[in-house]
Amino acid sequence: MFVPVPKNNALAALLIVIATAFIAATTLMAKALGTDALGPPLPAVQISHGRFLFAFIALGTVAAIVRPVLERPHWRLHIARTSFGWAGVTLMFASVAFIPLADATAISFLNPVFSMMLAIPLLGERVGPVRWSAAACALVGAAVLLRPTSQSFEPAALLALGAAVVMGLELIFIKKLAGREKPFQILLVNNLIGLAIATTAVLPFWQAPTPAQWATLAALGACMAMAQTCFVNAMARADASFVAPFSYSTLVFAALYDAAIFSVRPDGVSVLGAGIILCGAIWLALREARVKKQLPRPPTAV
Protein backbone atom coordinates (compact mmCIF):
# COMPACT_ATOMS: atom_id res chain seq x y z
CA MET A 1 0.00 0.00 0.00
CA PHE A 2 1.29 3.46 -0.89
CA VAL A 3 2.25 5.50 2.21
CA PRO A 4 2.99 9.26 1.72
CA VAL A 5 6.36 10.50 2.98
CA PRO A 6 6.53 13.26 5.65
CA LYS A 7 6.40 16.85 4.38
CA ASN A 8 9.70 18.74 4.38
CA ASN A 9 9.71 22.02 2.42
CA ALA A 10 13.41 22.77 2.90
CA LEU A 11 14.49 19.36 1.61
CA ALA A 12 12.02 19.59 -1.25
CA ALA A 13 13.42 22.97 -2.35
CA LEU A 14 17.00 21.62 -2.23
CA LEU A 15 16.03 18.54 -4.25
CA ILE A 16 14.35 20.69 -6.90
CA VAL A 17 17.42 22.92 -7.30
CA ILE A 18 19.65 19.83 -7.65
CA ALA A 19 17.20 18.42 -10.20
CA THR A 20 17.34 21.63 -12.25
CA ALA A 21 21.15 21.43 -12.39
CA PHE A 22 20.88 17.89 -13.79
CA ILE A 23 18.11 18.86 -16.23
CA ALA A 24 20.14 21.76 -17.60
CA ALA A 25 23.09 19.37 -17.95
CA THR A 26 20.98 17.00 -20.06
CA THR A 27 20.03 19.78 -22.48
CA LEU A 28 23.68 20.82 -22.65
CA MET A 29 24.70 17.27 -23.59
CA ALA A 30 21.81 17.06 -26.06
CA LYS A 31 23.15 20.21 -27.71
CA ALA A 32 26.63 18.69 -27.98
CA LEU A 33 25.17 15.50 -29.49
CA GLY A 34 22.90 17.39 -31.89
CA THR A 35 25.77 19.48 -33.26
CA ASP A 36 29.19 18.45 -34.56
CA ALA A 37 30.91 18.98 -31.19
CA LEU A 38 31.44 15.23 -30.63
CA GLY A 39 31.17 13.88 -34.17
CA PRO A 40 28.48 13.79 -36.86
CA PRO A 41 25.26 15.27 -35.36
CA LEU A 42 22.84 12.67 -34.02
CA PRO A 43 19.10 13.03 -34.75
CA ALA A 44 16.94 14.15 -31.83
CA VAL A 45 15.04 10.84 -31.73
CA GLN A 46 18.34 9.01 -31.20
CA ILE A 47 19.36 11.40 -28.41
CA SER A 48 16.03 10.87 -26.62
CA HIS A 49 16.45 7.11 -27.11
CA GLY A 50 19.81 7.28 -25.34
CA ARG A 51 18.22 9.33 -22.59
CA PHE A 52 15.57 6.65 -21.89
CA LEU A 53 17.94 3.71 -22.45
CA PHE A 54 20.60 4.74 -19.96
CA ALA A 55 18.11 6.20 -17.47
CA PHE A 56 16.30 2.84 -17.42
CA ILE A 57 19.60 0.98 -17.00
CA ALA A 58 20.46 3.18 -14.02
CA LEU A 59 17.04 2.79 -12.39
CA GLY A 60 16.87 -0.91 -13.24
CA THR A 61 20.24 -1.46 -11.55
CA VAL A 62 18.97 0.27 -8.41
CA ALA A 63 15.80 -1.85 -8.51
CA ALA A 64 17.84 -5.05 -8.79
CA ILE A 65 19.89 -4.05 -5.73
CA VAL A 66 17.22 -2.72 -3.37
CA ARG A 67 14.35 -4.90 -4.68
CA PRO A 68 11.51 -2.45 -3.99
CA VAL A 69 7.95 -3.68 -3.49
CA LEU A 70 6.04 -2.75 -6.64
CA GLU A 71 2.29 -2.47 -7.02
CA ARG A 72 0.15 -2.81 -10.11
CA PRO A 73 0.77 0.33 -12.22
CA HIS A 74 -1.98 2.45 -13.75
CA TRP A 75 -0.86 1.52 -17.25
CA ARG A 76 -3.15 3.85 -19.20
CA LEU A 77 -2.04 6.90 -17.26
CA HIS A 78 1.61 5.87 -17.51
CA ILE A 79 1.43 5.27 -21.27
CA ALA A 80 -0.33 8.59 -21.92
CA ARG A 81 2.04 10.53 -19.65
CA THR A 82 5.18 8.91 -21.10
CA SER A 83 4.07 9.30 -24.73
CA PHE A 84 3.73 13.04 -24.31
CA GLY A 85 6.91 13.15 -22.21
CA TRP A 86 8.92 11.41 -24.93
CA ALA A 87 7.57 13.75 -27.62
CA GLY A 88 8.33 16.81 -25.48
CA VAL A 89 11.88 15.71 -24.67
CA THR A 90 12.57 14.92 -28.34
CA LEU A 91 11.35 18.33 -29.50
CA MET A 92 13.36 20.02 -26.75
CA PHE A 93 16.53 18.16 -27.74
CA ALA A 94 15.94 19.11 -31.38
CA SER A 95 15.59 22.80 -30.52
CA VAL A 96 18.77 23.19 -28.44
CA ALA A 97 20.92 22.20 -31.41
CA PHE A 98 19.92 25.49 -33.09
CA ILE A 99 19.09 28.05 -30.39
CA PRO A 100 20.73 29.00 -27.05
CA LEU A 101 20.02 26.73 -24.09
CA ALA A 102 18.64 29.66 -22.09
CA ASP A 103 16.10 30.52 -24.81
CA ALA A 104 14.90 26.94 -25.20
CA THR A 105 14.71 26.52 -21.42
CA ALA A 106 12.73 29.74 -20.97
CA ILE A 107 10.23 28.71 -23.65
CA SER A 108 9.83 25.31 -21.97
CA PHE A 109 8.59 27.14 -18.86
CA LEU A 110 5.36 27.71 -20.75
CA ASN A 111 4.30 24.10 -20.13
CA PRO A 112 2.29 24.96 -16.96
CA VAL A 113 0.56 27.71 -18.96
CA PHE A 114 -0.48 25.26 -21.66
CA SER A 115 -1.38 22.73 -18.97
CA MET A 116 -3.72 25.30 -17.42
CA MET A 117 -5.35 25.93 -20.80
CA LEU A 118 -5.68 22.23 -21.60
CA ALA A 119 -7.12 21.48 -18.16
CA ILE A 120 -10.25 23.42 -19.16
CA PRO A 121 -11.48 20.90 -21.78
CA LEU A 122 -9.68 17.82 -20.39
CA LEU A 123 -10.27 18.19 -16.63
CA GLY A 124 -13.20 20.59 -16.60
CA GLU A 125 -11.27 23.16 -14.54
CA ARG A 126 -12.34 26.79 -14.37
CA VAL A 127 -9.78 29.52 -14.99
CA GLY A 128 -10.32 33.02 -13.64
CA PRO A 129 -9.08 36.35 -15.00
CA VAL A 130 -5.98 36.41 -12.77
CA ARG A 131 -4.69 33.11 -14.08
CA TRP A 132 -5.49 34.13 -17.64
CA SER A 133 -3.50 37.34 -17.07
CA ALA A 134 -0.51 35.36 -15.82
CA ALA A 135 -0.73 33.06 -18.84
CA ALA A 136 -0.93 36.03 -21.21
CA CYS A 137 2.15 37.56 -19.59
CA ALA A 138 4.14 34.35 -20.12
CA LEU A 139 2.98 34.08 -23.74
CA VAL A 140 4.12 37.67 -24.41
CA GLY A 141 7.58 36.63 -23.19
CA ALA A 142 7.54 33.69 -25.58
CA ALA A 143 6.63 36.00 -28.45
CA VAL A 144 9.66 38.14 -27.58
CA LEU A 145 11.96 35.10 -27.56
CA LEU A 146 10.61 33.96 -30.92
CA ARG A 147 11.86 37.27 -32.38
CA PRO A 148 8.95 37.59 -34.83
CA THR A 149 10.66 39.69 -37.49
CA SER A 150 11.92 38.63 -40.89
CA GLN A 151 15.50 39.47 -39.91
CA SER A 152 15.67 37.74 -36.53
CA PHE A 153 12.95 35.06 -36.48
CA GLU A 154 14.23 31.73 -35.14
CA PRO A 155 12.22 28.86 -36.70
CA ALA A 156 13.92 26.37 -34.33
CA ALA A 157 12.32 28.20 -31.40
CA LEU A 158 9.02 26.77 -32.60
CA LEU A 159 10.39 23.33 -31.69
CA ALA A 160 10.84 24.49 -28.09
CA LEU A 161 7.34 25.98 -28.18
CA GLY A 162 5.97 22.66 -29.41
CA ALA A 163 7.85 20.92 -26.59
CA ALA A 164 6.13 23.22 -24.07
CA VAL A 165 2.69 22.40 -25.50
CA VAL A 166 3.31 18.65 -25.40
CA MET A 167 4.80 18.81 -21.90
CA GLY A 168 1.72 20.74 -20.84
CA LEU A 169 -0.30 17.69 -21.89
CA GLU A 170 2.08 15.50 -19.91
CA LEU A 171 1.39 17.58 -16.80
CA ILE A 172 -2.31 16.78 -17.13
CA PHE A 173 -1.57 13.08 -16.75
CA ILE A 174 1.01 13.69 -14.04
CA LYS A 175 -1.79 15.37 -12.05
CA LYS A 176 -3.95 12.28 -12.50
CA LEU A 177 -1.09 9.97 -11.53
CA ALA A 178 0.15 11.96 -8.52
CA GLY A 179 -0.22 10.23 -5.16
CA ARG A 180 -1.35 6.91 -6.64
CA GLU A 181 1.98 5.09 -6.68
CA LYS A 182 5.38 5.16 -5.04
CA PRO A 183 7.86 7.65 -6.56
CA PHE A 184 10.41 4.99 -7.55
CA GLN A 185 7.78 2.87 -9.26
CA ILE A 186 6.62 5.90 -11.25
CA LEU A 187 10.19 6.51 -12.41
CA LEU A 188 10.82 2.88 -13.33
CA VAL A 189 7.59 2.44 -15.28
CA ASN A 190 7.98 5.82 -16.98
CA ASN A 191 11.44 4.98 -18.28
CA LEU A 192 10.45 1.45 -19.28
CA ILE A 193 7.57 2.70 -21.43
CA GLY A 194 9.69 5.58 -22.71
CA LEU A 195 12.42 3.16 -23.79
CA ALA A 196 9.88 1.08 -25.72
CA ILE A 197 8.52 4.16 -27.50
CA ALA A 198 11.97 5.63 -28.18
CA THR A 199 13.34 2.33 -29.53
CA THR A 200 10.48 2.03 -32.00
CA ALA A 201 10.87 5.65 -33.12
CA VAL A 202 14.66 5.58 -33.56
CA LEU A 203 14.92 2.53 -35.85
CA PRO A 204 14.54 4.44 -39.17
CA PHE A 205 17.01 7.16 -38.06
CA TRP A 206 19.71 5.17 -36.23
CA GLN A 207 23.35 6.00 -36.95
CA ALA A 208 26.43 4.63 -35.21
CA PRO A 209 27.58 7.03 -32.45
CA THR A 210 31.24 7.79 -31.86
CA PRO A 211 32.82 6.62 -28.57
CA ALA A 212 32.53 10.18 -27.22
CA GLN A 213 28.85 10.27 -28.20
CA TRP A 214 28.20 6.93 -26.49
CA ALA A 215 29.78 8.25 -23.30
CA THR A 216 27.72 11.44 -23.52
CA LEU A 217 24.50 9.50 -24.12
CA ALA A 218 25.24 7.42 -21.03
CA ALA A 219 25.94 10.55 -18.98
CA LEU A 220 22.75 12.17 -20.29
CA GLY A 221 20.66 9.18 -19.24
CA ALA A 222 22.29 9.05 -15.80
CA CYS A 223 21.73 12.78 -15.28
CA MET A 224 18.09 12.46 -16.27
CA ALA A 225 17.61 9.55 -13.87
CA MET A 226 19.12 11.64 -11.07
CA ALA A 227 16.97 14.64 -12.02
CA GLN A 228 13.80 12.56 -12.06
CA THR A 229 14.67 10.97 -8.72
CA CYS A 230 15.22 14.37 -7.11
CA PHE A 231 12.11 15.85 -8.71
CA VAL A 232 9.71 13.04 -7.79
CA ASN A 233 10.99 12.92 -4.20
CA ALA A 234 10.67 16.71 -3.92
CA MET A 235 7.08 16.58 -5.16
CA ALA A 236 6.34 13.90 -2.55
CA ARG A 237 7.61 16.15 0.26
CA ALA A 238 5.97 19.49 -0.60
CA ASP A 239 3.07 20.98 -2.53
CA ALA A 240 3.67 21.54 -6.23
CA SER A 241 2.85 25.22 -5.80
CA PHE A 242 5.70 25.55 -3.28
CA VAL A 243 8.40 23.83 -5.35
CA ALA A 244 7.39 25.37 -8.71
CA PRO A 245 9.33 28.66 -8.29
CA PHE A 246 12.52 26.73 -7.47
CA SER A 247 12.27 24.77 -10.73
CA TYR A 248 12.93 27.96 -12.68
CA SER A 249 16.57 27.86 -11.57
CA THR A 250 17.02 25.57 -14.59
CA LEU A 251 17.33 28.79 -16.60
CA VAL A 252 20.29 29.94 -14.52
CA PHE A 253 22.14 26.64 -14.94
CA ALA A 254 21.36 26.52 -18.67
CA ALA A 255 22.78 30.01 -19.21
CA LEU A 256 25.89 29.20 -17.17
CA TYR A 257 26.53 25.92 -18.99
CA ASP A 258 26.00 27.47 -22.42
CA ALA A 259 28.39 30.31 -21.62
CA ALA A 260 31.06 28.02 -20.15
CA ILE A 261 30.99 25.32 -22.85
CA PHE A 262 29.75 27.01 -26.05
CA SER A 263 30.62 30.65 -25.19
CA VAL A 264 26.99 31.61 -25.85
CA ARG A 265 25.77 34.54 -23.75
CA PRO A 266 22.15 35.75 -23.65
CA ASP A 267 21.50 39.00 -25.50
CA GLY A 268 19.07 41.70 -24.45
CA VAL A 269 16.13 40.10 -26.24
CA SER A 270 16.76 36.76 -24.52
CA VAL A 271 16.97 38.38 -21.09
CA LEU A 272 13.79 40.40 -21.70
CA GLY A 273 11.79 37.46 -23.05
CA ALA A 274 12.96 35.07 -20.34
CA GLY A 275 12.20 37.65 -17.66
CA ILE A 276 8.64 38.15 -18.91
CA ILE A 277 8.04 34.38 -19.06
CA LEU A 278 9.41 33.96 -15.53
CA CYS A 279 7.13 36.71 -14.22
CA GLY A 280 4.09 35.10 -15.79
CA ALA A 281 5.03 31.58 -14.70
CA ILE A 282 5.78 32.57 -11.09
CA TRP A 283 2.60 34.66 -10.98
CA LEU A 284 0.66 31.62 -12.18
CA ALA A 285 2.36 29.35 -9.60
CA LEU A 286 1.52 31.75 -6.76
CA ARG A 287 -2.07 32.00 -7.95
CA GLU A 288 -2.35 28.19 -8.09
CA ALA A 289 -1.09 28.04 -4.50
CA ARG A 290 -3.70 30.55 -3.36
CA VAL A 291 -6.50 28.72 -5.17
CA LYS A 292 -5.45 25.42 -3.60
CA LYS A 293 -5.50 26.91 -0.10
CA GLN A 294 -9.04 28.20 -0.67
CA LEU A 295 -10.36 24.74 -1.59
CA PRO A 296 -12.30 22.96 1.18
CA ARG A 297 -10.28 20.27 2.92
CA PRO A 298 -11.68 16.75 3.22
CA PRO A 299 -12.92 15.84 6.71
CA THR A 300 -10.34 14.20 8.93
CA ALA A 301 -11.12 10.60 9.89
CA VAL A 302 -11.41 9.97 13.62
pLDDT in tens, 41-94: 999 999 999 999 999 999 999 999 988 888 889 999 999 999 999 999 999 999
Query: What are the distances in angstroms from CA 179 to CA 17, 59, 74, 154?
Result: 22, 20, 12, 40
pLDDT of residue 82: 95
pLDDT of residue 294: 59
pLDDT of residue 150: 58
Rounded to whole angstroms, the Cα distance separating 8 from 19 reads 16
Rounded to whole angstroms, the Cα distance separating 180 from 186 reads 9
The pTM of this model reads: 0.83
pLDDT of residue 223: 94
- Please state the separation of Cα 85 from the chain's center in Å: 8
pLDDT of residue 291: 63
pLDDT of residue 153: 65
Cα dihedral 158, 164, 167, 172 sign: negative
Torsion of CA 270, 274, 276, 281, to 10 degrees: 170
Pair 274, 251: CB distance under 8 Å = yes
pLDDT of residue 165: 92
- DSSP letter at 205 equals G
Pair 1, 70: CB distance under 8 Å = no
pLDDT of residue 24: 93
Residues of the chain predicted below pLDDT 50: 1-2, 297-302
The domain ranges of the chain are: 9-291
- Please state the separation of Cα 176 from the chain's center in Å: 17
pLDDT of residue 299: 42
pLDDT of residue 109: 83
pLDDT of residue 76: 92
pLDDT of residue 19: 92
- Please state the separation of Cα 167 from the chain's center in Å: 7
